[in-house]
Amino acid sequence: SADWSYEEAEALGQALEKFPPNTLCRWRLIYEFFCEKCPSSHHEKLLHMAKLMPTQWCTIAPIVGRTAAQCLERYEYLLDQAQCRREDLNENNDDPRTLRPGEIDPNPETKPARPDPIDMDEDELEIEKQLEEARRLAALQKRRELRATDIEVRRYHSRKRDVNYNVEIPFQKLPAIGFYDTTNEEFDPEKVDLRRLRQDNVNSIQKEENEQQPIRKRSKLVLSAPQISDIKLEQVVKLGQATEIAKQQVTETGTPATETLLGDYNLTPDLRTLSTIGATPGITPVRDRLNINAEDGLFDGQMKQIESIGLFTMPKERVAKKSRIHKDVQKQGINFNKDFGQHILKNPLIITSMIDKSAIRPTDIVLEVGPGTGNLTVKLLEKAKKVVAYEIDPRLVAELQKRVQGTPFQSKLDIVIGDILKSDLPFFDLCVANLPYQISSPFVFKLLLHRPMFRCAIVLFQREFAQRLVAKPGEKLYCRLSVNTQLLAKVDHLMKVGKNNFRPPPKVESSVVRIEPKNPPPAVNYQEWDGLTRICFTRKNKLLVSEFKQKKVVALLEKNYRIHCSLNNKTITNDFDTKAKVEEILEQSGFAKKRARQMDMDDFLGLLHAFNSEGIHFC
């Protein structure tokens, strides 16, 4: 470059050989060192651009050919020189940009970095050591001069945490300042008992040693199993008593021969004589299981013989019957009667699910059968306008009234004491109930035949009964209940309920069923329909021809046919055969070879229409 001289290039080469090329700070030091010698034309250009674009050093730097930091530093340097000329100061000695003692450099990142000791050679390391030693000697000389002028310089050292026992006494308690008056003290030398003090000291030391020793737990006392049970021991005592009674009778009669046959159970046999029987002296012989069983059988035979004589009668032990009352029920003081089917639903999640599926409106009147303690009733009262509850047990009625007494629900609850099957149902919109299982079938048909019709019923039934309600033709549980219920309503199975969700738990599983009556109801005489299905499902797997050939069925149909003819002024011929008439109707309608378990609703309606059109009725 034209701006560089030969000496400058030589100095640059020596610097590159001295410092590693990968050290950025070294390159920056050399670069900035030689950038100091830039011509005056560059200074004028820099000042002109700074006047046109003040503080825009990123824009000025590429124009001048330097970096933004170099442009800013050079601009400040030129301003400092101009200030020195204005104040008539020496530019070289009194540089205003040089730091005075105690000042902090505001821009340390713009200054060249000091060399690292790792990159130094031996000469430079030696120079650094000499400088460090010079600083230490200067600090030492300064402290000596201050000490000579009576200025003490304290040197702070890190304080150790341990106690120096040569300087201080641990837990030292200094006496109070001043004289202590001992005139009020009473001292009796005769009462001083040094032996007692010594003994107390010994006891305290022993107590501390005992506390330090680990406490040993006593091992369990392991005893061998008894060779004879308590029951047999009682029998031995009773046998001895019976022997004493027999001895008294023998002594009264005076027959010594009989007296020798009776054993004496009051004396304990000599163990030394028994020990001689075994192979090893002092050890009782081990009896095998056959001998033990034989001796037990002989003992039982002797007891039976004594009882047969009439000398002694063995009392029979009475075994206490296990209570079937639930533990929680015993705590409450209520004994649920299973004859009424009292199984209280205790799971709140199932209760909430039943209420959600019933879709209760604020204007609905809800019918509940068997409220029990009111777990379901309270939830119904929160959403319904009124709840009519039928309960047959007066104890649970009192419990339910006590539960809602003093609450806003008291006016919304109407409790009827009595049997639901013997009572007339009131008007209601919904029926939500945990029904007693023994009244399931009659209650369902009483509910479906009730007028005016209700909107929906969510009822908890036994699992098998619920499966019969929703069974389809061809299924195993398809029966007369399925046909009669599905004629009048739409039945859906909602969820299964385990027996552990009740208190006390029943012996069977349960299910929740939704019953929606068909509105309008089908135009069918229900009594006629029920009579037909009763005959068809007597044996649902047999052919209908075989079902209608039974004598009782033929007699019933003939009786109903004659009543129908008499009411309608029809004459019956003498050779009229009811059995042949029924077979003819079945053949013409095509139901002769069908079975009841495979027939759906339309098939039964067609069969009923075929019989009624010929004047044969079932009620």
User: Which residues line the annotated binding site?
Assistant: 343, 345, 370, 391, 419, 434
Burial tier of 81 (Cβ tally within 10 Å: 0-12, 13-18, 19+): middle
The C-alpha atoms of residue 548 and residue 120 are separated, in whole angstroms, by 122
- Per DSSP, the three-state class of 2 is coil
> Tell me, what amino acid is at 212?
Q
Task: Count CA atoms closer than 13 A to 102's CA, side-chain side.
Answer: 0
Q: Say how far residue 216 (Cα) sits from the centre of its chain.
A: 40
The C-alpha atoms of residue 129 and residue 362 are separated, in whole angstroms, by 96
DSSP tag of 283: S
| Angstrom distances, CA of residue 593 to CA of 139, 432, 582 | 127, 42, 13
H/E/C letters for each residue in 369-420? ECCCCCHHHHHHHHHCCEEEEEECCHHHHHHHHHHHCCCCCHHHEEEEECCH
- Per DSSP, the three-state class of 251 is helix
Phi and psi at residue 542, to the nearest 5°: -90, 160
Residues 462/577, Cβ–Cβ less than 8 Å? no
The C-alpha atoms of residue 377 and residue 400 are separated, in whole angstroms, by 9
> How far is the first Cα of the chain from the last one, in angstroms, to the nearest whole number?
131
> Tell me, what amino acid is at 241?
Q
- Per DSSP, the three-state class of 503 is strand
* Cα three-residue angle 161-165-170, rounded to 5 degrees: 80
- Per DSSP, the three-state class of 346 is coil
Residues 540/597, Cβ–Cβ less than 8 Å? yes
The C-alpha atoms of residue 374 and residue 371 are separated, in whole angstroms, by 5
Chain length of the chain: 619
The C-alpha atoms of residue 302 and residue 312 are separated, in whole angstroms, by 12
The C-alpha atoms of residue 617 and residue 619 are separated, in whole angstroms, by 6
Write out the binding residues for S-adenosyl-L-methionine.
343, 345, 370, 391, 419, 434
The C-alpha atoms of residue 370 and residue 238 are separated, in whole angstroms, by 57
Residues 386/408, Cβ–Cβ less than 8 Å? no
Task: Count CA atoms closer than 13 A to 119's CA, side-chain side.
Answer: 15
